[in-house]
Amino acid sequence: MAMGHRRVPEGLLYDRNHYWVKVAGREASIGLSAHGQHTIGDILYLELVSPGAMIRKGEGFGSIESSKWVGALIAPVTGVVLDTNREVEASPGQINVDPYGQGWILRIELSDIDELKLLMKATAYRQWVEEQINREHQEEGAI
């Protein structure tokens, strides 16, 4: 198993659905963490809301498909979509390749700065990911 999916850069905030949030003033970029994309597998398709749409913390802002599975993209924070990553929409596998860089998903204007307090810093998220990976290893042993 590649170790890349354990990578958790400092300076970003994270939630338990494996999204990262990079804050710059009242704006934020959002993407899937390395571990998040790892749990999904090879990403084949992405359907995103359009710029101008309001996304709400805990609610869907699009859907994602890996081989034979589709799921909702769940917003880690609330805000208005400023921009979506057209390159990643055209080539969703970029999320697998570079989740924290070229694989960013969308950029929003934050509606509630206080929501950021509910997100995890890198250290806490890293610890949580390790717990998840340990659980995964136990599952693999059980299968």
Partner 1 sequence: MDLYNLGPVTWWESQCFYHAMAALGREGLIICYPTTPYVCLGLHDDLDQEIDQEYCRVRGLPLLRRETGGGVVYLDSCQLFFQLVLHRDNPLLPLRRLQFFEKFLRPAIAGYRSFGLPAELRAPADIVADGRKCSGAAAGDIGPCVAYVGNLLLDFDFYTMSKVLRVPTAIYRRCLYQAMRRNMTTLADWMTKAPEYSELAMALVNEFARHLSDLSPRTLDRELVEMSIGYREKLTAMAWLSLPGRKQARRRVKIAEGVHLLERNLGGLESIVVLIREGMAEEPLHMGGPGIDSGSFQFTIGTKEEKIFEVPQQFNP
Closest CA to 19 of 69, 59, 54: 59
Number of residues in contact with partner 1 under rule CB under 8 A: 28
Residue 105 in contact with partner 1, rule: CB under 8 A: no
Min separation Cβ 114 and partner 1, Å: 26
Residue 132 in contact with partner 1, rule: CB under 8 A: yes
Pair 66, 42: CB distance under 8 Å: yes
Closest CA to 35 of 60, 58, 16: 16
Among 40, 75, 119, 120, binds partner 1 (CB under 8 A): 40
Q: Which is nearer to partner 1, 95 or 110 (CB)?
A: 95
Among 38, 61, 77, 115, binds partner 1 (CB under 8 A): 38
Residue 50 in contact with partner 1, rule: CB under 8 A: no
Please give the C-alpha separations between residue 27 and each of 47, 76, 77, 82, in angstroms, as whole numbers: 22, 14, 11, 9
Residue 34 in contact with partner 1, rule: CB under 8 A: no
Tell me the C-alpha distance between 143 and 136, whole Å.
11
CA angle 76, 15, 57 (to 5 degrees): 20
Map the footprint of partner 1 across residues 52-71, applying CB under 8 A. Answer: 63, 65-71
* Residue ranges in contact with partner 1 by CB under 8 A: 38-45, 47, 63, 65-72, 91, 93, 96-97, 132, 135-136, 139-140, 143
